[in-house]
């Protein structure tokens, strides 16, 4: 959330705003930077599901950059931004919780199916393994160094 507030501050300082619908050529570094920061900020808000009025966003930037009096009190701005932060954080928590529940269910289903496959051993801890090729030679002692060749996979088959 702080990244967004910093980005808005940068946009306000740069104040290189293009009106919607126009596609003027961006001639110099200042124009390209201004547009890029604005585009990034807009994309960040969109990804977070925050609906903004672009005209009022631009007006706020122009007012701040021009030293104009704000349309609402600083206290009201703080209150509004705190509410926005709480909403974004709540939405992110909800999304993480839903993703965690889905991942847990997928993991449990994978382990249940994998445990039934031939040669798979499930330990009391839940760890599952399958010996692909038995080792040869003597068993290592407590102070011996060994080399282990293994292949680990995630539930989606991604190897690590």
Q: Rounded to two decimals, what is the model's pTM? A: 0.60
pLDDT at residue 8 in the model: 57
Task: Find the domain containing 23 and state its range.
Answer: 2-71
Tally the domains of the chain.
Answer: 1
- pLDDT surpasses 60 at 5: no
Look up residue 152 and give its two tokens. 């680990």
pLDDT at residue 134 in the model: 87
Is 129 part of a structural domain of the chain? no
Is 9 part of a structural domain of the chain? yes
SS3 159: strand
């Amino acid at each position: 959330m702080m990244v967004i507030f910093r980005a808005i501050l940068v946009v306000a300082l740069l104040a290189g705003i293009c009106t919607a619908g126009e596609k003027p050529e961006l001639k110099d570094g200042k124009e390209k930077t201004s547009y890029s920061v604005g585009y990034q900020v807009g994309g960040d808000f969109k990804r977070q599901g925050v609906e903004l009025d672009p005209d009022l966003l631009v007006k706020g930037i122009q007012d701040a950059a021009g030293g104009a009096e704000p349309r609402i009190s600083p206290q009201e701005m703080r209150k509004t931004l705190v509410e926005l932060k709480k909403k974004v954080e709540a939405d992110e928590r909800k999304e993480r919780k839903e993703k965690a529940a889905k991942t847990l269910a997928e993991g449990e289903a994978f382990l249940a199916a994998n445990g039934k496959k031939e040669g798979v051993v499930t330990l009391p801890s839940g760890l599952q393994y399958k010996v692909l090729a038995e080792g040869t030679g003597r068993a290592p002692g407590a102070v011996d160094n060994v080399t282990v060749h293994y292949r680990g996979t995630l539930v989606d088959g991604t190897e690590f």
